[in-house]
Amino acid sequence: MAIFSGLHLLFFSFIITTGAVSVVSGTVFTIQNSCGFTVWPGILTGNGGAQLNDGGFTLNPGASVDVTAPAGWSGRIWGRTGCNFDGSGAGRCLTGDCGNKLRCGGAGGVPPVTLAEFTIGNGGAKDFYDVSLVDGYNVQMGVTTRGGSGDCQNIGCVADLNGRCPNELRVMDGANVVACKSACEAFRKPEYCCTGAFDTPATCPPTDYSRIFKGACPKAYSYAYDDASSTFTCANANYSIVFCPR
């Protein structure tokens, strides 16, 4: 999607309101491809700041790229798969496409897509980070901390959810499952999207579908109100975002 979901806008707005992103320092994201195929990372800045690395690039198997985010940066990183771009950067991706272009430049990835989300603190303030399957799943992803202080945890979704995706949630390319939709994305019903009469944690509990995601990836968001076991903090850290971690 080209914009954040309402839930994640609230998440980032809360952090900004409470002053967790008020000062100055930089954070290095090392984005690494440990898959046996090319991944095209996408990056979306969510608070009106500059787009990092023009929002997207090519990452061959075994390669890594360091991306530096300024103090107060808030946004998301994901992997696109099955892309084909021409010399001008025009083309499309089977999953995570951001508008038929190599450099996303402010556009988000089309669900279903595995997301790493960050709001960076500074001067002792905490970073907030998570891996989200609220918009579904397309590729294995791990997030590890480097340095930092506090309850810094390595998180992610390293299971092959495409291999265990229910038939009704599958995104197919021929005979191959290339992504797994969330129940919200697949059915567009309030009870799965936590909207309307289901817009509170009390009225929107886990479903059988979100439990599949949570069972496979216990430290990732499985649905909108999965905050308690899915949001993590660390101060003054750098991070590695690894596709297909081993």
Domains and CATH numbers, the chain: 6-161+219-243 (2.60.110.10)
The answer on pLDDT for 122 being more than 90 is no
Res 13 pLDDT > 60: no
pLDDT for 219 beyond 80: yes
Structure confidence at residue 47 (pLDDT): 74
pLDDT at 5: 47
Q: State percent of the chain over pLDDT 90.
A: 84
| pLDDT at residue 174 greater than cutoff 80 | yes
Report pLDDT for 24.
Answer: 40
Helices (H), the chain: 6-17, 161-164, 183-187, 190-193, 208-216
**26 vs 154, higher pLDDT:** 154
Name which residue leads in pLDDT, 28 or 47. Answer: 28
42-51, 193-202, 217-226: least confidently modelled range: 42-51
As a whole number of angstroms, the distance between CA 31 and CA 127 comes to 18
The mean of the pLDDT values for the chain is 90
Average confidence (pLDDT) over 52-81: 96
The 10s digit of each residue's pLDDT in 84-110 is 999 999 999 999 999 999 999 999 999
Per-residue confidence (pLDDT) for residue 226, from 0 to 100: 94
DSSP codes, 19-70: TTT-S---EEEEEEE-SSS-BEEEEEESSS-PPGGGGB--B-TT-EEEEEE-
Q: What is the pLDDT of residue 81?
A: 98
> Over 90: is that where the pLDDT of 118 sits?
yes
